[in-house]
Amino acid sequence: MEKAVPRVFRLSNKVLKAAKNIEPKFGYGALSKIVYLRTYSRVRDYETGLREDWTDTVQRVTEGCMDMQYQHFEKNGIHWDSSQKSAEALQLFQKINEFKMSPPGRGLWGMGGAAVRQKGLNASLNNCGFISTFDMSKKVDENREPNPAYPFAYMVEMSMLGVGVGFDSLGGELNIPIHRPWHSKKNILIDDSREGWTESVRVLINSYLVPNQQTMVFDYSQLRPKGAPLKIFGGTSSGPAPLAELHDTIRDVFNSNLEITKRPTLTKRIITDIMNLCGRCVVAGGIRRYVF
């Protein structure tokens, strides 16, 4: 978990009031406005459903940028000149508000939002990421236990933050054995969080890639139902069904190889299949599923 970003900087009410009186000139008119409202306008009040207008979004992004810069200056002992930074912030706000410049889409959506401010999830501001599987046999968890499932867990976690993640299949050259989990069962209650979903995938995959593991049995009862609001990231929950389906299909991939091969090992095909299954789970229903 990254450090949350405190709210430090504020644009003046005079600047904001003046900007509110200017009608935004979206480049493609109504089409651009629809895209903005669908993708980048955040909910301000979940009880009323009130959403940001364009000036609200630009204010959030500008103040979020300045707060993050202030945090960086403070951490590194750099002098913060309030007058200079206020002038910089005003220029940034005006140029974005007038469509003379723009942050990337992820920045427009996430900068200054609750995911960064409250949870410190700065990774949610990234457009893209990458994870390699070439050293997965050497990965360990916080208890120094084998953790070859690390790349798959990374894929799930980053995808749930909205980051597009690429991967390689070099782990298929490591001859990592696939093991059948013990018949004894281990019951796991999945926490209703991004971390809970990620951890369930990690322990399931490790039960096949680490020897002498129990059979994982998941309890989905704590997961919020389909359609429930996601207050940190926005949007609504897809419910537990996509995660349960992911667990089932991961088991199918491993079990089918255990049945047809005497000494099955993790192959490039299996890595690719499971990574794609993880991606399918996150985009369940055709929209990215964000979990706080």
Per residue in 16-74, pLDDT (tens digit) is 999 999 999 999 999 999 999 988 998 887 677 789 999 999 999 999 999 999 999 99
pLDDT per residue as tens digits for the range 107-146:
999 999 887 877 778 888 988 999 999 999 999 999 999 9
Specify the DSSP class assigned to residue 2: P
Domain coordinates in residue numbering, the chain = 13-121, 128-286
Task: Provide, rounded to the nearest whole percent, the portion of the chain with pLDDT above 90.
Answer: 70
Pairing verdict, β 50-51 and 43-45: antiparallel
What is the average pLDDT value for the chain, to the nearest integer? 89
Predicted confidence band at 203 (pLDDT cuts at 50, 70, 90)?
Answer: very high
| Distance from C-alpha of 159 to C-alpha of 282, rounded to nearest angstrom | 7
Q: What are phi and psi of 62, to 5 degrees?
A: -65, -50
Please identify which residue in the block is written with the tokens 């001859």. Answer: 175
Q: Would you state the pLDDT for residue 292?
A: 34
Cβ atoms within 10 Å, residue 90: 14
Q: Kindly tell me if the per-residue pLDDT of 289 is higher than 70.
A: no
